[in-house]
Amino acid sequence: MKYIFLNLKRFDIPRALGGVNSIAMPGEWAGHIVSSVKAELGKYAGTAEFAMFFPEAHILPAKAAGFSGLHIGCQGVFGRDVAAGGNFGAFTTLRTAKSMRALGCDCTIIGHCEERAYLNGLADTFGGSREAVNSILNTETVSALDAGLKVLYCVGETFEEHGRVEQVLKKQLDEGLSGVERSGVIIAYEPLWAIGPGRPTPTAAEIRSIVRYIKSVAECPVVYGGGLKESNAEMIASIPELDGGLIALTRFQGEIGFYPEEYLRIVEKYLGCADTSAHIA
């Protein structure tokens, strides 16, 4: 079984406001995406599981347009939540795991490099310690699992950390997943040093070695979180230790953004090359 995740970030913002959305009005955006891909994704029943992480306002439209083979998720949760006989819901501005579960989510992404960068930036700005970041992510992971959400937990190293990658990843895994039930967790490996225009591309051998190490520490499925794209889908599929990938932008030149038809081409190319456990229906 392969796992293909889609992180739609804030791709709902129209170009007139500085965003990258030109495919549908914000109110119709999530439904348009799901409706555009569900017929094709249905062909892979039994071969792959699909999940999409939507900005919060788009979860209900995505669910309404969804189908049985698609998991709808949110983009992170707070580390505390409501409890019977305890906090009744005093979490103004905060996205709790149980509130997302109540909307119909069944998964979330935690520890994405953008979340880690934000938390690290807060620590740097206000004189705190970056040592707390993995502990914060651990509270989020625990809350998500307690609410019945599966977790895509992201780990990765910067360029400066690349020479001690195993040490960095072990800390992120040991502290971020401390005390959690691993059966509800999938790991996304994000090589931060390779993400972005003009950055070097990790080789299949590099990725394979690191994924083997992650699995030896975490004993969870691992997907490539550095961006599954049409240009690298065949290479990512050639790494047997990888269990899938994370897609975000589909177009990186011209009118950059996410386009459903391009997403389907990535899925088709990846799964067409990957060694899956069942034949496509």
User: Any idea which residues carry the catalytic annotation?
Assistant: 112, 190
Q: Could you tell me how many residues make up the chain?
A: 281
- Which three-class secondary structure string do you get for the chain? CEEEEEECCCCCCEHHHCCCECCCCHHHHHHHHHHHHHHHHHHHCCCEEEEEEECHHHHHHHHHHCCCCEEEEECCCCCCCCCCCCCCCCCCCCCCHHHHHHHCCCEEEECCHHHHHHHHHHHHHCCCCHHHHHHHHHHHHHHHHHCCCEEEEEECCCCCCHHHHHHHHHHHHHHHCCCCCHHHEEEEECCHHHCCCCCCCCCHHHHHHHHHHHHHHHCCCEEECCCCCCCCHHHHHCCCCCCEEEECCCECCCCCECCHHHHHHHHHHHHHHCCCCCCCC
Give yes or no for a contact between 266 and 277, defined as CB atoms under 8 angstroms apart.
no
- Residue 128: which residues within 8 A CB-CB, separation 6 or more? 122
Bridge partner residues of 48 (DSSP): 2
Q: Which of 136, 148, 68 is nearest to 107 (CA)?
A: 148
